[in-house]
Structure 1
Amino acid sequence: MATPISTADVAHVARLARLALTDEELEQFTGQLAAVLAHAADVEALDTTGVPPTAHPLPIDNVLRDDVVVPCADREEVLAQAPASESGRFRVPRILGEAP
């Protein structure tokens, strides 16, 4: 089987990624990338007719509870527990010198 990717291709990708690779690394990565591409070609050759698209190999059930509408806390009670409030809202320190 011919190598689907050359050392020059790997060197080009390394340059684009701004990676400095030695000659030994180029040879090593060329072989590794060729193996990955060969595996991808094997997967591409599989007959997937009738196989639905899958996001996860196992069925997943939603483990979250259903949303249930409940009354919210009383505004005055919550603001009474705050360190400072003003005009029915929490009062917080000014941030980054913003104008009031």
Structure 2
Amino acid sequence: MSLTLSNVTILANLAQLELNDEQAARSLAKLNEIFALVEQMQSVDTTGIVPLNHPIAAMQPDLCLRLRDDIVTESNHREDYQKPAPVNQDGLYLVPKVLD
């Protein structure tokens, strides 16, 4: 996949960036380099490869991160937090419609 200059202009507009022609051309080149790298990475066969918790584990397994057990340590205060809200329903805060 490669972008065109019009794609970069549209992206810049969506991101509310003002790019002159030179900046747009440089951005186009850099973005196309990134897409080329992603395509190159996707072409690598990774079947049978175990995901790592952290990249350092590939080089030094003794330094890999230890994961803690996923246990609840805090109590649920949702009801307390919703008491001061003007309107709530089914655990959600109801607000006035802003957009038509």
**TM-score normalised to structure 1 length:** 0.55
Q: Is structure 2 residue 52 aligned with structure 1 residue 54?
A: yes
Partner of 2:12: 14
Shift >2 Å, 4+ stretches: none
Aligned pairs (5 A) from 1:57-76: 57-59=55-57, 60-62=64-66
Displacement of 1:56 = 1.2
Q: Aligned partners of 1:36, 1:56: CA distance in 2, in Å?
A: 23
Partner of 1:26: 24
**TM-score normalised to structure 2 length:** 0.55
Q: Aligned partners of 1:15, 1:37: CA distance in 2, in Å?
A: 20
> Number of paired residues?
61
Change (3 A) 1:51 1:20: same
Query: Secondary structure in 2 aligned to 1:14?
Result: helix
Q: Please give the per-residue CA displacement for 1:37-66, whole angstroms capped at 9, x wherever unaligned.
A: 00000000001010122231223244x9xx
Higher helix share: 2
Change (3 A) 1:55 1:8: farther
Gaps of 5+ in 1: 65-100
**Identity between Structure 1 and Structure 2 (%):** 28
Gaps of 5+ in 2: 58-63, 69-100
